[in-house]
Copies of this chain bind each other. A is one copy, B any other.
């Protein structure tokens, strides 16, 4: 686990620091996506808020994390698959946000369906975010 984290950092020419290791670890241990605020809590506020901002930004730029759009003003982040490289994301999978437990899942197995656009519109990236009840909350 630790090894994998170091690999990710080194592959992206980032120095291996406490905060980066810890934050990456969080994402690896977590099934879903995390928002800035979650990270602050889960690290026990061990790191400066600013460091978290900068770390997340760096990870997104390097293609280690991707962002998940939401309608509630809190961007969530999730680990990218290996194919992502700097400046080029390939996270064309479906995201699922549970209305009950708020967990955000990256449904890697589900590919984004084709969307037919009107003439003149050229797609670049397609985001699909599904809300509903996740398998743990559908009782």
> How close is A95's CB to chain B, nearest CB, in angstroms?
9
A107 to B118, CA, bound (A): 8
A135 in contact (CB, < 8 A): yes
- List chain B residues, Cβ under 8 A from A128: 115, 126-128
Contact A67 B71 (CB under 8 A): yes
Contact A117 B110 (CB under 8 A): yes
Q: How many residues of chain A get a CB closer than 8 Å to chain B's CBs?
A: 40
A54 in contact (CB, < 8 A): no
A125 to B75, CA, bound (A): 18
Contact A117 B129 (CB under 8 A): no
A109 in contact (CB, < 8 A): yes
Copies in the complex: 2
A:88-128 near B, CB below 8 Å: 94, 96, 99, 105, 107, 109-110, 113-128
- List chain B residues, Cβ under 8 A from A107: 117-118, 121
A21 in contact (CB, < 8 A): no
- List chain B residues, Cβ under 8 A from A115: 94, 110, 113, 128, 130
Given contacts A70-B69, A127-B71, contact A135 B120 (CB under 8 A): yes
Q: List 14 contacting pairs A-B, 8 Å CB cutoff, sorted by A.
A: A68-B71, A69-B69, A71-B127, A94-B115, A115-B128, A115-B130, A119-B135, A121-B132, A123-B130, A124-B133, A125-B130, A126-B128, A126-B130, A127-B127
